[in-house]
Amino acid sequence: MGYAQAQETPIAFIGGTIIPVSGPPIENGILLVQHGKIQAVGRAATVRLSSEVTRIDVSGKVLMPGLVDTHSHVGEAAGGDGSAALQPDVRVLDALNVWSPSLGRARAGGITTVNVMPGSGHLLSGQTAYLKLRKGNAIQELLLCKDLLNEVCGGMKMANGTNPMRDNGTFPGTRSRSAAMARQLFIKAQAYQRKIKEAAGDATKMPERDLQMEALVQVLEGKRTVHFHTHRADDILTAIRIGQEFGFKPVLQHVSEGWKVAKEIAASGFPASVIVIDSPGGKLEAMDMRFETGAALVKEGALMGYHTDDYITDSRLFLRSAALGMRAGLNREKALESVTLAGAKMLDLDHRLGTLESGKDADFIVLSGDPMSVYTRIEQTWIEGKKVFDLSNPEDRKYATGAYGVLVGDVVHTHHDGDEDGHR
Amino acid sequence: MIKHLLFLCVVVGLPNVLSAQKYALKADVVHTVSGPSIQNGLLLVKDGKIEWVGAAKDKAIPKDYKTYTAKTITPGLVDGHSVVGLAGALNQPHDQDQLETSGAPIAPELRALDAYNPREILVSYLREMGVTTIHTGHGPGALISGQTLVAKTIGNSIQEAVVDSSSMLAITLGSGISSAFKSPATRSKALAMLRQELLKAQSYLRKMEQPEIGKRPERDLKLETLAQLLKGELKALVTVDRAHDIQAAIRLAKEFNLKMVLDSASEAYLVMDEIKSSGVELVLHPTMKRAAGESENLTFETAKILNEAGIAFSLQSGFEGYVPKTRVVLFEAAIAAAYGLPYDKALAAITINPAKILGISHRVGSLEIGKDADVVLFDGDPFEYTTHVCTVFVNGKVVSETCR
């Protein structure tokens, strides 16, 4: 692919305020990037620049890490269909439209890394894809993994509560059946895993290849992270219970009633990726949703981040979720982490992403001011040292503001049942 | 506007419910909306009304007044169009009354006041966010889905809450008409059906105006309501997004001389001259409404663009079939302001402008002596994400005191 290698000339961003997230803000800082990586970051006086460095003056601007969105539906990928409640074989990467305008919206929102989830309404709707929002013409140019045949390139989407319930018999109609169906499938995967182990490398003794079982074995081995849609307090505890029973570590997703069970979530050690919605309700499991959830989880010591669930909330307003968390008691440091480092940790990518530190990927955004202010605009988005969004470019700007014909057809078509979106 | 005398009597008859308390509200900035903002301002509230407003240095606070202090004070917010109170937070069939699909697609006889639930949790949610007046009722989805009402976000009954029991008639054009209706299924059919129905109402109106009572037809709720529309007693609230549908709506307004309010109007920026010259009013879509379907061409900057063209408009919480079940006009105005709408215009779009469109600007929408004491106290810039709505007054009564 060689995307990272494309940026050969070192570039220094000079004079701005740098929020590295790994430490306090740096006034009059320098961010030096080359070969797609951060070479240096620090106060102007501490970073030496050779004459070959391209200098970009960002005085008056704020630089921070590219945003990491742990739950999004950009790219119009559907995932599982209505044929079964559990479809671990289905991959988002086989359906994602890299030309979708929704990716342009996400870049305009400062999102550089995204976990694209398959659609909703299943107990298990398929394999997610971890992407960099590079401008590419094929899915492999966006994936964070290098070899999509042999590497794990994303997570696994599960759900409980009212979301997977349908009245057709194939899908669960109650919470107990939801849990039983998911557990039964994991027990089957454990047996498959045992057979592989017993074969001890002998190809003649290996079980027949089974795409569903292979993906679930990756979950059991801790190589593929389960992202577990769960809203209500009791459903959150059920997700934790299933993770603990089968020895995997889910990222709890949405977590609307997390404020009620913040202690229990923190004690489980499982991270929580929270959605922020402007009002409670809209479905039964979100009735007790509050802006306070993020602060409550952090207070108890849980790893907490936010996500967009785009198109449920707009990628262009991702920072708003963190700011509304701050409105409800989250401190500034944790608010900044919640859309950067926390997400990187949840995707096991914090060695590469989430902070501005020497050696990490050169993914960052240039802002007009305080990231937590409504009046601040995201002016530029850079991925691995390449600019993928520039507000001063009229074509890019259309994605930031909307314009006639620009966002046409960018909505994901994933939902099957219940109301217009298939959620209940 | 049709004021139901019954309701007015009830409200007037209960002055004690409103307030016996007197308040002095101080703030670094008081945005009166009707005039320039006042630095170090003071607002006195008595008997449910605004008694005095001005610079704090110009008035000594009388000693029996309870004092509240804030960074910023604004008028109570007015939501230009909502379905809250009819579309419940649960989003289950039993709490969704904003759209009737079992009957005919033209249902002007449906009154919001017969469905409005003042105890609905989204009503209190909006109140706690500083929204003190809502224009709510039947939502989009039928050719004519029913009547809307204007209510304060208080009270245990419609009588206590109502400001205007029948404000507008909700009409939908374009492809937003529910597929539950077999017909209309095309734009042309929709307009043909509407026009034919209005012609019928014209004829009904003529017959009803006959001097000889015996020759008048039997009362017909459907035609009676449409006759009110024709007489200008009700406004047509036309939910419409596509530019050519906006043009169709304006054509209809001209043909039948209707008082019309365009609702949502995602593509208004394409037809600004026509909107301006037609004289129709405008309640623009929520700034953060999703760009999808009929609204796929909306922009964050439409508010700014309309303002620059000299078109007055209100903002609204709109209609959501899923989450968020309601939006909050404060948040929508904030994003409009962030995307180029001047601050004072953004505030006007959620206070005085909707009050004017709703015909209630003599009571709400600005901080002026004699108006209802609907007031919001903030601990910072109202539009900032991290600012809290701290105290909310409706009719001179404290209805929320927790910073949110």
pLDDT in tens, chain A (424 residues): 445 455 689 999 999 999 999 999 999 999 999 999 999 999 999 999 999 999 999 999 999 999 999 999 999 998 999 999 999 999 999 999 999 999 999 999 999 999 999 988 999 999 999 999 999 999 999 999 999 999 999 999 999 999 999 999 999 999 999 999 999 999 999 999 999 999 999 999 999 999 999 999 999 999 999 999 999 999 999 999 999 999 999 999 999 999 999 999 999 999 999 999 999 999 999 999 999 999 999 999 999 999 999 999 999 999 999 999 999 999 999 999 999 999 999 999 999 999 999 999 999 999 999 999 999 999 999 999 999 999 999 999 999 999 999 998 776 544 433 333 344 4
For A336, which DSSP code? H
Which of chain A's residues have a Cβ under 8 Å away from the Cβ of B297? 402-405, 407-408
Residue type, B271: V
pLDDT value at residue A76: 92
* CB contact set of B325 (below 8 Å; sequence gap of 6+): A279, A280, A281, A282, B87, B88, B89, B91, B122
CB B103 within 8 A of CB B375: no
Looking at residue A8, what is its pLDDT?
86
**Mean pLDDT taken over chain B:** 95
Per CB distance under 8 Å, which residues of A are interface residues toward B? Answer: 277-284, 286-287, 291, 311-312, 314, 316-317, 320, 323-324, 326-327, 372-375, 377, 400-405, 407-411, 419-421, 423
What would the DSSP string read from start to end of A145-167? SS-TTTS--S-EEEE-TTTT--S
Q: Helix, strand, or coil here: B367? A: coil
- What's the confidence (pLDDT) of residue B201? 98
Mutation to test the A interface, candidates B79, B82, B385, B390, most A Cβ within 10 Å: B385
Percent of chain B with pLDDT over 70: 95
Amino acid at B221: L
User: What span, in angstroms and rounded, lies between the C-alpha atoms of A354 and A365?
Assistant: 12
Taking the C-alpha atoms of residue B50 and residue A407, their distance in angstroms, rounded to an integer, is 46
Give the model confidence (pLDDT) of B339-390 as tens digits: 999 999 999 999 999 999 999 999 999 999 999 999 999 999 999 999 999 9
- Is the Cβ pair B92, A284 closer than 8 Å? yes
Element (H, E) at A215: helix A211-220
Token pair 């600005």 is found at B366
What's the pLDDT at A410? 73
Average pLDDT over residues B242-252: 98
* Helices A211-220 and A175-199, packing angle to 10 deg: 90
Mean pLDDT on B287-310: 97
Q: Which of B204, B154, B334, B254 has the alpha carbon at shortest distance from A320?
A: B334
In this prediction the ipTM stands at 0.95
Contact (CB<8Å) B89/A320? no
A402 and B301 within 8 Å at the Cβ level: the answer is yes
pLDDT for res A6 = 56
Please enumerate in sequence order all residues whose Cβ is within 8 A of that of A80, keeping only pairs 6 or more positions apart, or say none. A87, A90, A118, A119, A122, A124, A125, A126
* Token duo for residue A333: 């440091």
Q: How many CB atoms neighbour CB A198 within 10 A?
A: 11
**For residue B125, cis peptide bond before it (omega within 30 degrees of 0):** no
Peptide bond before residue A164 is cis, with ω within 30 degrees of 0:
no
Instruction: Give per-residue pLDDT as tens, B40-53.
Output: 999 999 999 999 99
User: What confidence tier does B2 reach under pLDDT thresholds 50, 70, 90?
Assistant: low
Cα distances from B101 to residues A158, B93, B139, in angstroms, run: 35, 12, 12
The architecture of the domain spanning A67-351 is: Alpha-Beta Barrel (3.20)
Task: Point out the residue among A282, A311, A326 whose CB comes nearest to the CB of B324.
Answer: A282
The C-alpha angle with vertex B156 and arms to B390 and B83, in degrees rounded to 5, equals 75
More confident residue, B263 or B18: B263
